[in-house]
Structure 1
Amino acid sequence: MAKITTIIDIGSNSMRMVVLEKSSRFAFNLINETRSRVKISEGCYENNGNLQEAPMQRAFNSLQSFLNISKALKSRKIICVATSALRDAPNAKVFLQKVKNELGLSIKVIDGVKEAYYGGVAALNLLHDNEFVTVDIGGGSTEFAFVKNRKIEKCISLNIGTVRINELFFKKNDFEAAKRYILEKLEEVLHCGYEIPNTIVGIGGTIRALSRIIMAKNSYPLDILHGFNYSTDLNMYIYDAILEAKDCLSLKSLGVKKERVDTIKEGTFIFKTILEELQIKRVITSGAGVREGIYLDDLLRNSNGIFPANFNVSVRSMLDRFEIDPKQSSYFGRNAKAIFDVLAPLHNLNEKYRQLLVIASKLHSIGTVLNFYKSNDNTFDFILNGLNYDFLHSSRVTVAHIIKFSKKSLPKRKDLKEYEQLLPDFEVMQWLSFMISLNLMINQDMSMPNVKYNLKNNKLRVCLDRPIFMIENDIDKLEIPKGLKVKIYS
């Protein structure tokens, strides 16, 4: 696969592009994301599905700019797909031929099932959940992919979309007919032969816009959409407020962005109907969708479309780009496991914290690459925004805080206040802070000493293969959780 790859997705409402750079066999990072609201399907559903001249020209002009960006970034591979608007349009070939002749770009029109599949591939690889159904609301269609145990079981595409619903029903103020139309289409999902999960992974601009509003209304501390989850019951009033808004000013006062004002009611109407009809309890927001799914389908073509077990693309990508020495990172990871395991009778922490401690120990030094001074603070900020995929928000915030407090002193309650709702209990954070601090102290001269640990009567014996003055000198400065004693032997 090319080192730098461009994926372009031409939807009914928006055209989007991502440029991704491969850093190792399975790892990659985003180097550009561009969006243009060309509304290529504007007016088509009122004209027997035919694309209109002005929207086609907007799409053509945007594609030209997208290709300029891709070329400037030295992308060696471009994959361009089109979804509902072009697959429905009788005159789609006019646009496809013009783009091929004048821009040298071949556009692949994919069917709805394939579109749903790509969304499913993105969600199962880049989100941390086992059983869900993806819902991707577009301008012309809505796609569903049933995912269970890291496998896509069923893909469905329905002719429900914001532009379609607007032109067929909302312009006529016929909301009852719109509801009947959506419910009729949803029969295919309800009777597809698979049990409906109680969790939806939401893909697409409408669902991301709704999540942003919900985050703001709930004073959510982390400004990250991907992986944000919420209860439908507790937030349905926000959907109702959007649907009851009388004008653009009212929508903006609710937190609807200017570029979403013209489609947010239709999208909310569709999504609310789906949530109620399928009896969904929880929504997880995905920042990844068709574009990432196309990329992953290509990247993982020899791996059954899924990452290897225990592989985390965000951690691997960060290490590929920023780790100082792979041997040091591996040492810190192994030592973190040993420290966690020997202290398990005292801390009694869930096994998931073992993995988070290992990740934090491996990543702690990346802030040094950015700026040696205040490297822990640099890493904290970078982790919050850089662990893009396959992390719960709580896990991302926990890892960042473990690194931030990998110091000689333990965190105080006031230090954790800002992100309190996403962090584990105070005592858990103190243990994690202590364990990474001990880990870093053991190898502070970067000699990777052989070390054995023994816990007896709440006393941790740290047995080194040789005397190391820096450790012996600093161990008494290390703040230790209550009830534990630490002694160095060499």
Structure 2
Amino acid sequence: MAKRTAVIDLGSNSMRMAIFERTSRYAFYILGEFKMKVRLGESAYENGGAISEKSMQKAYEAFCEFKSIAKAYKCNKIFCMGTSALRDAPNSNELISLIRRNLGLNLKVVKGIDEASLGGIAALNLLEPMSEFITIDIGGGSTELAMIKDAKIVDAVSLDVGTVRLKELFFDKKNLKGLNDFMKEILKDLPKNFKSKNIVTIGGSLRAISSAIMQAQNYPLRSVHNFSYKFESQKEFIQNLTKASVLDLDKFYIKKDRFDTIREGAYIFLSVVNSLKCEHVYTSGVGFREGVYLSDILRPSKKFPPNFNTSVRSLQDRFLLNNNKMVVKYAKDAFVTLKPLHGIDDKFIYELETAARLHNLGQCLGFYGEHINSANFVINALNYGFSHRQKALIATIIGLNGKKTLGEFEKFRDLLPEEDIVKWLSFILNFAKILDINCTHKKLKFELKSQMLEISGAKEQFMTKENIKKIAKPATFAISFVS
């Protein structure tokens, strides 16, 4: 299998490339992302879908640059995929032949239903687990939806409506009457079984809307992947966005490079979501390109093995010298033994175990500030398979380092459980770290007798005793070593 893979996505508006690096069999991370506006669909929707000579030249030049970048990154494999504008164009073979002949790249035209399924594969594997949801990916020329139930894609559909298509046919002409009639016809192609309380948004327009909502809320995390909100609470904001003038878009926290098509994207989103009866919106920072990559490395199942998280494993592969196996064991055993004192729900064991696995990521930068650096690694690089609440909690468990107050992690308070829960989990992690360092990976046993935690399997050491004393206990109890 290739160590580095580039996936190029030629859309109606932009061409993007993501470079993926594998760190082990199923673990990977994104090494680089690149974007060029080639506007392949520009003027095409009024001319039978044909790609103009100008747009074809832009696309060719972009492929030249992207191939050069992929070569500089030493990519062993390059996937080139074309979506809506390419599959609609009667002259698409001209561009495909040009790219193959001059650059040696195989540009593949992706069917709409396959594009929808690939977005579904990315969301299914890389978002926080959900029993059922529908993905919506709004592009320049089309909108793809995939329905997922019980960890399987059960249906997919592609609608001939996209931001560039609406811009050229209706918004630029201020033809709102024609726009509404056009959208009603499009929605007739949406299967009646496409209904879900949960919708996962994919694509640049929808990420831009989520990013705007985050900025308006002064949200404590910057990562848009896995950001969620209740649709009704933001419906008015999105409606106002569709009606805003270009000059007012910056008031909605929209970046300038999105001004040209963001209103069209918001309009499509509102129209489709109202038909889906959606209640909760989950933002995906991954989509078509990740789906293409995952389809390659996860063949034939297109799913990660059970209980495997690619971000956790990738961080371990890159930055840890060992797997912290005993820290995880001590933390879990201590949690279970001390439950009569803390009373915390067992669902938090997963976050505690993850924190135990990754607690010393920052060690690769040096000893000083290790726990803070480790917490920052979690916030910025634990990207896949975790909700924002989980990321904030894992980072805080690590970064708190047994202290009495939340300190700099106070900014995550709205995302965290009760403060006592956080303090207990941080205490248990630090307790497990001390035992791992000072008890040389012995098989320790824990037993709670009244207000006394007895540890058997290792003799008490002076350093162990002193280090345990430094940790702020969330409750009054004693700790002793017994033979």
TM-score by length of 1: 0.96
Give the Cα separation in 2 of the matches to 1:401 and 1:435.
13
- Residue segments in structure 2 that go unaligned for 5+ positions in a row: none
Cα deviation, 1:79-114, whole Å, max 9, x if unaligned, reads 111000000000111111111111111101010000
Cα deviation, 1:42-72, whole Å, max 9, x if unaligned, reads 0101111100111111111111111111001
Cα deviation, 1:231-278, whole Å, max 9, x if unaligned, reads 1111112112212212x2211222111110000111111111112222
Comparing 414-423 and 249-258, the one that deviates more: 414-423
Which runs of structure 2 are paired with 1:16-415 in the superposition (5 Å)? 16-128=16-128, 129-191=130-192, 194=193, 196-246=195-245, 248-302=246-300, 304-326=301-323, 329-407=324-402, 409-410=403-404, 412-415=405-408
97 and 284 in structure 1: CA distance in 2 versus 1, 3 angstrom threshold? same
- Name the counterpart of 2:472: 479
Match of 1:465 among 452, 455, 458: 458
Comparing 181-190 and 84-93, the one that deviates more: 181-190
Counterpart residue type for residue 477 of structure 2: L
Give the Cα separation in 1 of the matches to 2:133 and 2:121.
12
Give the Cα separation in 2 of the matches to 1:186 and 1:144.
12
- Give the conservation status (yes or no) of the 8 Å contact 2:9–2:289: yes
Q: By how many angstroms is 1:445 displaced?
A: 3.3
Indicate the SS of the match to 1:79. strand
- Give the conservation status (yes or no) of the 8 Å contact 2:400–2:406: no
Q: By how many angstroms is 1:414 displaced?
A: 4.9
Q: By how many angstroms is 1:350 displaced?
A: 2.2
Counterpart residue type for residue 236 of structure 2: Y
Q: By how many angstroms is 1:413 displaced?
A: 4.9
Indicate the SS of the match to 2:144. strand
- Give the conservation status (yes or no) of the 8 Å contact 2:458–2:481: no
Give the Cα separation in 2 of the matches to 1:344 and 1:195.
44
Identity of aligned residues (%): 39
Give the Cα separation in 1 of the matches to 2:351 and 2:406.
20
- Give the conservation status (yes or no) of the 8 Å contact 2:147–2:194: no
Counterpart residue type for residue 178 of structure 2: A
Counterpart residue type for residue 275 of structure 1: V
Counterpart residue type for residue 28 of structure 1: F
Give the Cα separation in 2 of the matches to 1:203 and 1:219.
22
Give the Cα separation in 2 of the matches to 1:274 and 1:446.
59
Counterpart residue type for residue 161 of structure 1: G
Give the Cα separation in 2 of the matches to 1:414 and 1:104.
55
Q: By how many angstroms is 1:415 displaced?
A: 4.6
Give the Cα separation in 1 of the matches to 2:350 and 2:241.
41
310 and 198 in structure 1: CA distance in 2 versus 1, 3 angstrom threshold? same
Give the Cα separation in 2 of the matches to 1:414 and 1:18.
37
Counterpart residue type for residue 171 of structure 1: D
Q: By how many angstroms is 1:314 displaced?
A: 0.5
Give the Cα separation in 1 of the matches to 2:480 and 2:391.
32
The count of aligned residue pairs is: 482
Give the Cα separation in 2 of the matches to 1:174 and 1:414.
54
Q: By how many angstroms is 1:397 displaced?
A: 0.8
Give the Cα separation in 1 of the matches to 2:258 and 2:470.
55
Comparing 475-484 and 37-46, the one that deviates more: 475-484
- Give the conservation status (yes or no) of the 8 Å contact 1:434–1:480: yes
Comparing 249-258 and 429-438, the one that deviates more: 249-258
Give the Cα separation in 2 of the matches to 1:195 and 1:117.
14
112 and 220 in structure 1: CA distance in 2 versus 1, 3 angstrom threshold? same
Q: By how many angstroms is 1:430 displaced?
A: 0.9
Indicate the SS of the match to 1:178. helix
181 and 484 in structure 1: CA distance in 2 versus 1, 3 angstrom threshold? farther
Cα deviation, 1:157-189, whole Å, max 9, x if unaligned, reads 010101111222222222232223223222332
- Give the conservation status (yes or no) of the 8 Å contact 1:179–1:273: no
Give the Cα separation in 1 of the matches to 2:85 and 2:406.
53
Indicate the SS of the match to 2:161. coil
Comparing 455-464 and 55-64, the one that deviates more: 455-464
446 and 300 in structure 1: CA distance in 2 versus 1, 3 angstrom threshold? farther
Give the Cα separation in 1 of the matches to 2:152 and 2:342.
36
- Residue segments in structure 1 that go unaligned for 5+ positions in a row: none
Give the Cα separation in 1 of the matches to 2:342 and 2:475.
11
Give the Cα separation in 2 of the matches to 1:155 and 1:188.
12
- Give the conservation status (yes or no) of the 8 Å contact 1:406–1:437: yes
Indicate the SS of the match to 1:219. coil
- Give the conservation status (yes or no) of the 8 Å contact 2:331–2:432: yes
415 and 460 in structure 1: CA distance in 2 versus 1, 3 angstrom threshold? farther
Give the Cα separation in 1 of the matches to 2:353 and 2:35.
37
Indicate the SS of the match to 1:395. helix
Counterpart residue type for residue 152 of structure 1: I
Give the Cα separation in 2 of the matches to 1:157 and 1:144.
6
Cα deviation, 1:187-209, whole Å, max 9, x if unaligned, reads 33242xx3511111000010001
Q: What is the RMSD computed on CA atoms of the aligned residues?
A: 1.4
Q: By how many angstroms is 1:331 displaced?
A: 1.2
